[in-house]
Amino acid sequence: MTKRVRKAVLPVAGLGTRVLPGAKTTPKNLLNVVDRPILSYIVEEARAAGIEHFVFIVGRGQGAIEDYFDANPEIEQALEAKGKTDILAEVRRDILQPGQMSFVRQMAPLGLGHAVWCARDIIGDEPFAVMLPDMLMAATPPALAQAVAAYEKTGGNIVVVEPAPEGEAHKYGIVALDGQDGRLNRMTGMVEKPAPGTEPSNLFISGRYILQPEIFEILETQERGRRRRDPTDGRHGQPDEGPGLPRPGIRRNDLRLRRQDRAAAGQRRLRPPAPRTEGRRPQGDRGAPLNRLPPPPRASYP
């Protein structure tokens, strides 16, 4: 009998250099998509899959993530007093209960595998999920719920994949399969950004995993010269399955919309900057330039 998947690791320690300047003061995973932070969607998906404990792998300056999932009595009381019950329900929806979240500091950017390895003591000897907030999934049932269902059927490790856009498979981490029959297939390997024309399939790893706790031993002994570890690099000897998804996900890097795209999506255009008046005459003034106007009268004191 397989153990139930109760815990999820969320690696969120990245600096967000590709979404600057938005991530300069706000952790990149708290940036909004429509009207909710990215992590709000991820936690909602995890809850739908039965996840009970969230392990956030964070970096320096990301305390706002912990605050976001905590209660805020001042805001809640203010909304309640004003009768804004709909907004209050939205605010309370994302609050995690005491004991449901843990935060682990990743002290150096050593890659995804290292981030997962940092959670070893909290995960213990249980199977667990890994969710990369880079991908927002549009799927029914939700993507992680599909992965958990596949795990309960087959055991082992589960890697969620989806088709790459035509002609772009060389830009992703592509899986190799032992045949392809339906949506659940055995995975035999993966290639990170293969040369065009050499891709073993058109299916790329899309940010949802179910892993066995033995992965921590493999990551511990992985060659340290490869500074950026990845959990898909070393699951030899363990069965891997790869369920596809009915709809493609959205990569966070695709969410940097141009101003005209935001307007087309129904969002208000940014106002143009006010015209500069420095060194110009005030409107209607036809006298001396600004720098020659008489100074204002001095105040007199008794």
Look at 22 and 75; give whichever has higher pLDDT: 75
Other CB atoms within a 10 A radius of the CB of residue 89 amount to 10
Other CB atoms within a 10 A radius of the CB of residue 152 amount to 14
Query: Is pLDDT above 50 for 261?
Result: no
Instruction: Return the pLDDT at 260.
Output: 42
- When mean pLDDT is compared across 108-112, 121-125, 142-146, the lowest value belongs to 108-112
Work out the pLDDT band at 87, boundaries 50, 70, 90.
very high
Instruction: Return the pLDDT at 302.
Output: 52
Query: Is pLDDT above 70 for 262?
Result: no
Q: Which two tokens stand for residue 25?
A: 């003061």
Please state the rounded mean pLDDT for residues 31-51: 92
The predicted-structure confidence for 266-284, as pLDDT tens digits, reads as follows: 444 344 445 555 555 555 5
Instruction: Return the pLDDT at 292.
Output: 52
Query: What architecture (CATH level 2) is domain 7-268?
Result: Alpha-Beta Complex (3.90)
Alpha-carbon separation of residue 179 from 183, 206, 241 (angstroms) = 11, 20, 12
Work out the pLDDT band at 240, boundaries 50, 70, 90.
low
Computed over every residue of the chain, the mean pLDDT equals 78
Query: Is pLDDT above 90 for 130?
Result: yes
Q: Is 291 exposed, middle or buried (0-12, 13-18, 19+ CB in 10 A)?
A: exposed
Look at 168 and 17; give whichever has higher pLDDT: 168
Please state the rounded mean pLDDT for residues 197-221: 90
CA pair distance 281, 161, nearest whole angstrom: 64
Instruction: Return the pLDDT at 46.
Output: 95
> Over pLDDT 90: what percentage of the chain?
37
CA pair distance 248, 115, nearest whole angstrom: 25
pTM, two decimals, is 0.73
Query: Is pLDDT above 60 for 68?
Result: yes
Query: Is pLDDT above 60 for 238?
Result: no
Please state the rounded mean pLDDT for residues 24-46: 90
Instruction: Return the pLDDT at 183.
Output: 82
Residue ranges covered by each domain of the chain:
7-268
159 strand-pairing partners: 209
Query: Is pLDDT above 60 for 259?
Result: no
Q: Which two tokens stand for residue 189?
A: 């390997």
The predicted-structure confidence for 176-185, as pLDDT tens digits, reads as follows: 888 777 788 8
